[in-house]
Chain A
Amino acid sequence: MTASTADSPLLPAGAHARRPRRIIPGFGLSLGYTLVYLSLIVLIPLSATFLKSAQLGWSGFWHVLAEPRVIASLQLSFGAAFLAALINLVFGLIVAWVLVRYEFPLRRLVDGLVDLPFALPTAVAGIALTALYAPNGWIGRWLEPLGVKVAFTPFGIVIALAFIGLPFVVRTVQPILEDLDHKVEQAARTLGASAVQTFLRVILPALWPALLTGFALAFARGIGEYGSVIFIAGNMPLISEIAPLLIVTKLEQYEYSQATAIAVAMLVISFVLMFGINALQGWAQQRHKGRA
Chain B
Amino acid sequence: MNIRITRRQTMALALAAAVTGLGSLNGTTAQAASYTLLNVSYDPTRELYEDVNKVFAARWKAQTGDTVEIRQSHGGSGRQARSIIDGLEADVATLALAYDIDALNKQARLIPANWQTRLADNSSPYTSTIVFLVRKGNPKKIKDWGDLARPGIGVITPNPKTSGGARWNYLAAWAWALKQPGGSDVTAEALVKRIFKNVPVLDSGARASTITFVERGIGDVLLAWENEAFLAVKELGPDKFDIVLPSLSILAEPPVTVVDKVVNKRGTRKVAEAYLKFLYTPEGQEIVAKHFYRPRNPQVAAKYAKIFPKLELVTVDGVFGGWAKAQAAHFADGGSFDRIYGR
A interface residues, Cβ below 8 angstroms from B: 68-69, 115, 118-119, 130-131, 134-137, 151-152, 168, 171-172, 175-176, 210, 213, 217, 230-231, 234-238, 241, 245, 248-249, 251-255, 258
Q: How far is the CA of A221 from the CA of B103 in the complex (A)?
A: 34
User: Hey, which chain A residues are within 8 Å of B341, CB to CB?
Assistant: 69, 237-238
Does B82 make an interface contact (CB < 8 A)? yes
B332 touches A253 (CB 8 A): yes
Known: A230-B204, A234-B202, A249-B159. A254 touches B8 (CB 8 A): no
Asked if B8 and A251 sit within 8 Å, CB to CB, the answer is: no
* CB <8 Å contact, A152 and B2: no
Do B82 and A252 have beta carbons less than 8 Å apart? yes
CA A255 to CA B332, docked complex, whole Å = 10
B343 at the interface (CB under 8 A from A): yes
Whether B12 is near chain A, meaning CB under 8 Å from some CB there, is yes
Known: A237-B202, A249-B161, A252-B82. A134 touches B103 (CB 8 A): no
B55 at interface (Cβ–Cβ under 8 A)? no
Q: Which of B5, B107, B338 contacts A254 (CB under 8 A)?
A: B107
Summed over the interface, the residue pairs from A and B with CB atoms below 8 Å come to a total of 83
Decide if A252 touches B202 in the complex (CB within 8 Å).
no
A118 and B218 contacting across the interface, CB-CB below 8 Å: no
B78 in contact (CB, < 8 A)? yes
| 19 additional A-B residue pairs with CB within 8 Å, beyond A118-B8, A238-B341 | A136-B217, A152-B200, A152-B218, A168-B5, A172-B1, A172-B2, A172-B5, A213-B1, A230-B204, A235-B159, A235-B202, A235-B204, A236-B199, A248-B204, A249-B161, A252-B76, A252-B162, A253-B332, A254-B82
Indicate whether A136 sits within 8 Å of B103 (C-beta atoms), given known contacts A235-B201, A236-B201. no
Docked Cα-Cα span, A168 to B6, in Å, equals: 11
Pairs of residues from A and B, 6 with the lowest C-beta to C-beta distance, nearest first: A252-B78, A136-B217, A134-B216, A237-B341, A234-B201, A235-B202
Interface residues of B in 61-80 (CB under 8 A from A): 76, 78-79
Quick check: is B203 within 8 A (CB to CB) of the other chain? yes
Check if B161 sits within 8 Å of A235, measured CB to CB. no
**Interface footprint category on B:** 20 to 34
In the complex, are the beta carbons of A68 and B342 less than 8 A apart? Answer: yes
> Closest approach, in angstroms, between the C-beta of A37 and any C-beta of chain B?
12
B4 within 8 Å of A (CB atoms): yes
CB pairs A–B below 8 angstroms (21 shown): A69-B338, A69-B341, A115-B8, A134-B216, A135-B218, A136-B216, A152-B201, A171-B4, A176-B1, A230-B204, A231-B208, A235-B203, A236-B199, A236-B202, A237-B341, A238-B341, A252-B161, A252-B162, A253-B331, A253-B332, A254-B107
Q: B121 near A: Cβ within 8 Å?
A: no
Least Cβ–Cβ distance between A238 and chain B, in angstroms: 6
Q: What B residues does A119 contact at CB under 8 A?
A: 12
A135 cross-chain contacts in B, Cβ below 8 A? 216-218
Would you call B78 and A253 a contact (CB within 8 A)? yes
Q: Is the CB of A248 within 8 A of B103?
A: no
Residue B333 is within 8 A (CB to CB) of chain A in the complex: yes
* Contact across chains for A68 and B343 when beta carbons are under 8 A apart: yes
Q: Mark B24-62, 1 if CB is under 8 A from A, else 0.
A: 000000000000000000000000000000000000000
B218 pairs with A249, CB closer than 8 A: no
